[in-house]
Each structure stands twice: as C-alpha cells, then as structure tokens.
Structure 1
Amino acid sequence: MTAADTPARQLAQANQAVHDPGARAWIVTGLLVVFMMINFADKAVFGLAADEIRADLGLSATDFGLANSAFFLLFSVAAVAVGMLADRVPLKWLLLTMALLWSVAQVPAALGGGLAVLIGTRIVLGAAEGPAFPVAQQAALSWFPDHKRNLPGALVTLGVTLGVITAAPGLTWVITNHGWRSALWVVASVGLVWAVAWFVFGADGRYRDAGSATPAEGSAATYADSPATSADSPGWPAYRRIFTSRTWTGATIAYFTSYWAVALMLVWLPSYLKNGLDHSSATAGTLVAVPWAVGAVTLLGQAALTGWLMRRGVASRWARGRVGAGLLFLGALCFLVMPLVDGTGPKTALLVAGLGISGSFATVAITTVAELAPPARRGGALGTMNAVVTTAGLIAPTVVGRMVDSQGDGGYQNAVVASAVLLLLGAVAACTLIDPARDKARTGA
C-alpha cells in the first residue's frame, strides 16, 4: 500500500462505518429495548395491582395517587444529574447501575409494609429510573449517525410499549393468583438477569459524545459527529443557550403533554376500564395492553414517515415538528369525542386510540433534541428535558385521584377531557416552535 492509498482507504472505511452501523449496534439496541421493557414493567405493576393494593392496605384513591406520584419526586432531579453525568462517563456503567438499583428497590415492598414503605420504595425506584429513557436513547443513538437515528430511537421507545404489552397479562396473572407482592419479586428478578446480559454485551458506540479524543468502548472508529474536543471546550454552546432555544422549549412542552397521557395509562387506566367503563378484571387486564400496541404501530409509522421525509430533504421542523404535532392533535381529538358517544365499546375504542397515539411523541422529542444539541451537550440536554417532562408523572396521578374521590367514576372521563386540552397545547408548541436547523445556527451548536 502506498502512502497515497492510505487516506483514500481510510476515507472509504469511514464512509462505510457511517452507512453501516454493524451487528454490534443492533445487539446493543436490542438490549436497550429490553431495558425499557423492564423499566416500564416496573412502573406498570402498581397500576395493574391498583385495586388489590388499595384493598389490602385500605387506601383511598388520593392515597394511592400520592404513592404513585412519590415515584416522580426524585425522578426529575436524577434525570438532570445523571443526564449531565452521561456526557462524561461511560453509558454502559450508568445503565448497569440503574438496572441493579431497580431490582434492589423492589425488595422492601415485596417483603411487606404499608403506605410508608410503598412511598419510600417508589421514591428510590423513581430516582433510579429517572435517567433511564434519555440515557438509553443516548446509548442507542451513539451507534448511529443522525440520518439513521429514527429507527433505533423508535425501537428503544417501543420497548416502553412492549414492556407493558408483555407485562400486563403475565403480571395480572401473578397478581391474581399469587398476590401483588409476588409481582414485585418477578420484576426484580428480570432486572437482575438483564444486568448480567448488559455487563457481557453492553458498550458505548462510535458516535458517543465528542468529549473524548479516543473511540468509546466497543467502537471501531473515532467519533464522527464532530471533532474530538473537551466537553468544556468554548467551542460548545452553554446548556443555557440550548435550554432557551425555541426548539428545546417546544419539544419539551409537547413531550410534557404526551407524558401526561402516559402517566394516565400507567396508573389509572386499569381502574378506569374496570370502574368507569364496567369491564371485568380479566378483560381490563387484556385491554390495558391495547393502547400500548396502538402506540407501537404509531411509533413505527412515525419513524418511517419521518425518515422518508428527511431522506428527501424535508426539514426537521416539518419531518419531526409537524408530524409530532399531528400525533398530539389526533390523540386530543379522540379524547374530546369520548363524551359525545354512547356505549362502552365506542368509548373504550376512543380511549385506547387516544392514549396510544398521544403517548407516542417521545421519539420525536428525543431525536429533535439530539439533532439540536452537539454531542458533548446531548446527555444534559436530553436529561434536563426528561426531568421537566416527567413532572407530569408527579402531578397527574394525584390530580386524577382527587378527581375520582370528589367526582366518583365520572372523574375518570373528566380527567381524559382535561388531558385533551393539554395535548392541544402541546400540538401548538410542536408545530410553532420546533425548528432544529434554525436554532442550531442561533446557538452555535
């Protein structure tokens, strides 16, 4: 090989790496999908066992809502702290630590105790799970260039859906036949198994943040997003400039309204199906997975449409912002029509469709902010967005619990209508504010 051949060969290898992420990228992505499945199975177990827990511990709807809101008390703080830490330390070890903490946090409530134990363990679990989604997304996206990130981002988000779809029938059976505390032992055990698998196969990708001058663990090339630079280099914009951009603000507002719908699904959907729409416990245990299945189809459809648009040169403000706004608008429309129709069947269909569609904004938000923020600021940008967004989980369960206590079963439907109003606000924010190309130029990202 001549000296002249070397740069050409290196360029060809670099181009091939950009266009072919490789099998390792998809193995890691698959593990991260399972990671999110476990994450949301941990969250969903309390909603699935809501009536059993309330009966066993003598809790009102407000008490139960408070216990679930406690989950989000440190959720947001941890998301910010670990998100910024993720810009500086290997993502592999952060994810492994989180998975181990999830399993440990299940043990006290599984062993016994009342409301105080529930609240305490949910606070610890929330702190451990708060950074999960942004860090998992960052880990997955670190294996792919920007134009190939829609599918892996959607798949990791799809793990949320698959977690509930697979957990709902299985955990419902465990709860019915062996008690709700046994279900906690099940999710704790699954978390430990995943931690072992991740320890063996997990790694950071070649598009890991540019805060290091060397490739990330397990990667075959140096970072391709931008030149290797210190994370504190003056070449990177301050977090403040990212957080005050219209794109970050619009994506965060829209995602907040979407997460409100997710919180309703996790905590109150099983009870609404049984008490508000008169479904049996067995039917409710099956139906609770339907909106997540709708969300899975919506996620994949959104990823395909967005990717198709971007490959044809359509700007992100349309391919991501307008498409995301459309999802929130359709979800709100389903909710607003519910009070106008009669019959359990039509109401149930509109409920599950609205929840599934409106809860599918996450991938739009994540890929939008990942496009906006430079690599060395991506973890902090994603973590802080997740922190703000998940305050919806802190507020929604208690608000809905109070509505149910004060208004009876009618409080469920009123909560859905209130959610529709929020979703419409989110749609407006996504449509009018999201424009990564404009804001990258303004922030110097």
Structure 2
Amino acid sequence: MPHTDLAPVTLTDPVTTSRSHRRHAWTVTGLLVVFMMVNFADKSVLGLAADPIRHDLGLSATGFGLANSTFFLFFSVCCAAGGLLADRVRPRWLLLGMALLWSIAQMPMALGGGLSALVASRIVLGAAEGPAFPVAQHSALAWFPDRRRNLPGALLNVGVALGVVLAAPGLTWVIQHHGWRSAFAAVAVAGVVWAAAWAVFGRDRTTETGGQGAGTDPDGSAEERSPDLSYRRILGTRTWIGATIGYFSTYWVIALSLVWVPSYLHDGLGYPATTAAGLVAGIWAVSGIAMLGQAGVTGWLLRRGVTSRWARARVGGITLLVSALGCAILSQAARGPLTVLLLLVGFGLCGTMSTVAVTSVAEVVPAGRRGGALGLMNAVVTTGGLIAPALTGYLVDTQGRSGYQHAVLLTAVLLLLGGTAAVTLIDPARDARRLAP
C-alpha cells in the first residue's frame, strides 16, 4: 500500500459550496447508505431462516441463540480497532476490505457447511462488520459541517432499516423457493457488487481537496481544537457516556429484531412466516421514517438556535422512553391489531438514538479523534448483540412462549434506562467547552 494511504486522516478546508464538493459528498453518502443496507441484510439472514436452519442443523433455541451470539464475539473488539484505525488509514480502503470479507464469510454456508462452518463464518462476518458503522459515519460526516450532519447521519441509519425492509420479504422468498443456503449466496453477491461500485466511485474527502491545511471542519470551524486530546478525556464526558448508554438500549432492540422477532411473531404469537416477515419489514420501515423525522426536527431546531442538548439528546431520549412504554405493554399483550401497533412503536421508534448518539459525539470530538471515539462507543454498544440473542434463547428454552414475553419486558427496562441517560447526560456544547484547550 502506498505511503499516502497510511497518512493520518486530516480534514482540509474546501469551498463546501462548490458543485464538485456537493456531488462527491452525496455520491459517497449514497454509496454508504447502500453499504449499510448490505451490512444489515447480511445480519438478518439467520433470523429470517431461523426455523429451517434450526431444523436442518438440529439446534435448540439456546444453541441457535449462541450461534448468533458468536457473530459478536470479535465484533466489539474489531469495532474499536477499526474506529481507531480510521483515524490513521484512509476509510475508503477499510470500507472496501470489509465489504469483500463479508462476501467471503457468507460462502461456507452457501456451499453446504454445517454447524461448525456456521459458527466460524459468523465469527469472521462479525469481525469484518464490526467497524462498518463507525467507519461509514466517520467517512460520510467528514464531508459535512456540524449543522448539516443530521441528514447524512440519519440516511446511513435509514440504510440499516432499508437493508432489513428489503431483505425480509426478498430473502424470505428466496428461502421458501430456493432454500435457506441460497439466501447466504444472495447477500454474498450483493457485497461483491457494492465493493465493485465503491472501488470506482468511493473516495475520501481528504483525497479531493487541497486547502488551508489540517485542522478545520467543512464549515471552516476549528474542529481540530486539540490534536493531542486523549481518548480517556473523551470517554469521560457525560455526552459520550449518555450517548453510549442510550445507543446500547437501541442496539439491544436491533439484535432482537434481527435474530428473535421473526420467531417471536411466528412461534410466540402464531403469525404465518410470510406475515411475520412483513411485520419485521414494517418495524424497520417505521425505524427509517422515525430516523428521517428525527433528522428533520433536529435540523430545524438547530437552525433556530436550539442547543444540541434539546435538539438532539432530548428528541432521541424521548423516543426511547416512548419505545420503552410500547415494549412494556407489548410484553403483556395477546395477538391482535394492538400488538402490531405496540410492536411497531416499541421496536421501531428507538432507532433514532443511533443517529443522535453519533452526531452528538461527533459534535464534541475533534475530527482527528472522531473515528476512534465512534469506534469505542460502538464497541461498548454492540456487546448488546452478544448478550441479547443468547439470553433470549435461554429464556425461550426454559420458559417456552412466556420466555418471549420476558425478553420483551427486559427490553422495555433497558430502553427506559437508555432514554433516561440520553435526556439527563448528553450535552455536546457543555462537553465541547470542557475539552477545549
């Protein structure tokens, strides 16, 4: 790799109003939206094919939950490592390498692998996907000033939702008509196609512009306030802590939505498999709409001088609290229209916190430390993905259908804690002043 590809990622000061800059910014953002779509289509395969996989491989609910949890065995470690590496290596090459590894990791199951291959492939896939979200956010946000980051940040999260919205019915059809192994082949091909497009059109902001030198944000602000700022100080801010707790509760919901909600709807509530897949897609559709709504509301408030504590943290925190209430009632509800509404509210609205957490931390942290700060946050947050599937599988094995209800009730408690932390702790303006030299 040429020496220039190992240079520290520093931001220059282009004329952000130029047509070329805007075109590159939105091209990169669009590609990264698709990147996150492929990322979550990869994650959703096991949940959508849960019943035939458990039948063919002879897995109990606990065994299936543990197999899913192995995905997160190195996910958090690689998430932190990838975020830190993004402060030193061009994100373009990190993203390309990740996408290719995803496709390679899917192939053993597409080609007939058994339980050992499933576990090994999920471990490799988890390690390769760990840094995806923080590196993608770091790459996209570098093209925009703080006041304009809500939309691109939200769009990447919408890519998460779209990945599952499209994957749920699409992969369910593939599984029913061509077998569950074909679904692994389909997502592998999608990863290769994206990598080819990124190799041609993907780019880093630093490779596009010259300018006044390192140390400025796209809007000309001195975002590199302190290039020697330690990660210890960043991780000690109330904003980073509150964002991490709130985002953890959201990621817990994400893990359940990917792994156990299809089975919960089918086995726990008695919906047909196709209906269950449609409801899963509905959850993610609501999540995508909520994230775009949050971006619009937050951007509108910021443009009118409202602080991020209200415009970001409290908007996100309130959605977590509403989701907590929805899950609490859902845990006691029977099948019916009310259950569908509670499911969409409880599991759909809380996705807004992922955008709030990222943009709040990005506002506090200098650009040269952004990748590491986001990577470390995601490393903590994604431990929820390690715990939630295994714990839910244990509850289902030991308690039957009521195990699903107790898992949803536990989710309500975590969302309540996350919403409270977001509302009370996150204050980017305060913590930015405290980190200033």
Q: What is the TM-score normalised by the length of structure 2? A: 0.93
Give per-residue Cα distances to partners, 1:88-124, cap 9 Å, x unaligned.
1111100000000000011112222322211111000
Which residue does the alignment assign to 1:353? 345
1:305-384 alignment, distance < 5 Å: 305-384=297-376
Give per-residue Cα distances to partners, 1:2-45, cap 9 Å, x unaligned.
xxxxxxxxxx983635x995112111111000000000000001
8 Å CA contact 2:44–2:164 kept in 1: the answer is yes
- Matched to 1:180, the amino acid is W
Change (3 A) 1:225 1:345: same
8 Å CA contact 2:96–2:199 kept in 1: the answer is yes
Which residue does the alignment assign to 1:8? none
- 1-structure distance, mates of 2:256, 2:374: 23
Q: How many matched pairs?
A: 421
- 1-structure distance, mates of 2:143, 2:426: 25
- 1-structure distance, mates of 2:283, 2:16: 40
- Matched to 2:123, the amino acid is I
Change (3 A) 1:334 1:13: closer
Which residue does the alignment assign to 1:437? 429
Which residue does the alignment assign to 1:6? none
1:377-392 alignment, distance < 5 Å: 377-392=369-384
- 1-structure distance, mates of 2:273, 2:168: 12
The yes-or-no answer on 1:218 pairing with 2:219 is no
Q: 3-state SS of the aligned residue for 1:144?
A: coil
- 1-structure distance, mates of 2:31, 2:324: 33
The yes-or-no answer on 1:425 pairing with 2:417 is yes
Q: CA deviation at 1:343?
A: 3.9
- 2-structure distance, mates of 1:110, 1:235: 46
- 2-structure distance, mates of 1:219, 1:52: 51
What is the CA RMSD across the aligned residues, in angstroms? 2.0
The yes-or-no answer on 1:181 pairing with 2:173 is no
Q: 3-state SS of the aligned residue for 1:288?
A: helix
- 2-structure distance, mates of 1:236, 1:315: 27
Which residue does the alignment assign to 2:293? 301
- Matched to 1:43, the amino acid is K
Q: 3-state SS of the aligned residue for 1:88?
A: coil
Which residue does the alignment assign to 1:247? 239
Q: What is the TM-score normalised by the length of structure 1? A: 0.91
The yes-or-no answer on 1:195 pairing with 2:213 is no
Change (3 A) 1:436 1:358: same
Q: CA deviation at 1:218?
A: 2.6
- 2-structure distance, mates of 1:105, 1:314: 45
Structure showing greater Rg? 1
Q: 3-state SS of the aligned residue for 2:113?
A: coil
Give per-residue Cα distances to partners, 1:44-99, cap 9 Å, x unaligned.
01000000100010100000000100000000000111111100111110000000
- 2-structure distance, mates of 1:326, 1:131: 28
User: Any gaps of 5 or more consecutive residues in structure 1?
Assistant: 1-11, 206-215
1:261-272 alignment, distance < 5 Å: 261-272=253-264
Which residue does the alignment assign to 2:159? 159
Q: CA deviation at 1:152?
A: 0.4
Q: CA deviation at 1:352?
A: 2.4
8 Å CA contact 1:277–1:344 kept in 2: the answer is no
Which residue does the alignment assign to 1:108? 108
Which residue does the alignment assign to 1:277? 269
8 Å CA contact 1:245–1:439 kept in 2: the answer is yes
- 2-structure distance, mates of 1:234, 1:219: 22
Give per-residue Cα distances to partners, 1:295-339, cap 9 Å, x unaligned.
011001100010011111111111111111111001001111224
- Matched to 1:218, the amino acid is E
Q: 3-state SS of the aligned residue for 2:284?
A: helix
Change (3 A) 1:80 1:177: same
8 Å CA contact 1:21–1:144 kept in 2: the answer is no
Change (3 A) 1:383 1:352: same
8 Å CA contact 2:154–2:355 kept in 1: the answer is yes
- 2-structure distance, mates of 1:339, 1:379: 38
- Matched to 1:84, the amino acid is L
Q: CA deviation at 1:351?
A: 1.3
The yes-or-no answer on 1:149 pairing with 2:154 is no
Which residue does the alignment assign to 1:43? 43
- Matched to 2:17, the amino acid is Q
Change (3 A) 1:221 1:172: farther
Q: Which moved more, 1:31-40 or 1:336-345?
A: 336-345
Change (3 A) 1:358 1:274: same
The yes-or-no answer on 1:259 pairing with 2:251 is yes
Change (3 A) 1:104 1:340: closer
8 Å CA contact 1:333–1:420 kept in 2: the answer is yes
Give per-residue Cα distances to partners, 1:424-443, cap 9 Å, x unaligned.
00011001110111111112
Change (3 A) 1:256 1:93: same
8 Å CA contact 1:236–1:444 kept in 2: the answer is no
- 2-structure distance, mates of 1:126, 1:338: 30
- 2-structure distance, mates of 1:301, 1:261: 19
- Matched to 1:412, the amino acid is Y
- Matched to 1:393, the amino acid is G
- 1-structure distance, mates of 2:375, 2:242: 16
Which residue does the alignment assign to 1:16? 17
- Matched to 1:63, the amino acid is G
Q: 3-state SS of the aligned residue for 2:110?
A: helix
8 Å CA contact 2:71–2:123 kept in 1: the answer is yes
8 Å CA contact 1:236–1:374 kept in 2: the answer is no
Q: 3-state SS of the aligned residue for 2:204?
A: coil
Q: Which moved more, 1:234-243 or 1:59-68?
A: 234-243
8 Å CA contact 2:131–2:375 kept in 1: the answer is yes
Give per-residue Cα distances to partners, 1:242-283, cap 9 Å, x unaligned.
001111000001100111011110000110110111101111
User: Any gaps of 5 or more consecutive residues in structure 2?
Assistant: 1-12
Q: 3-state SS of the aligned residue for 1:71?
A: helix
- Matched to 1:175, the amino acid is I
Q: 3-state SS of the aligned residue for 2:264?
A: helix
Change (3 A) 1:21 1:307: farther
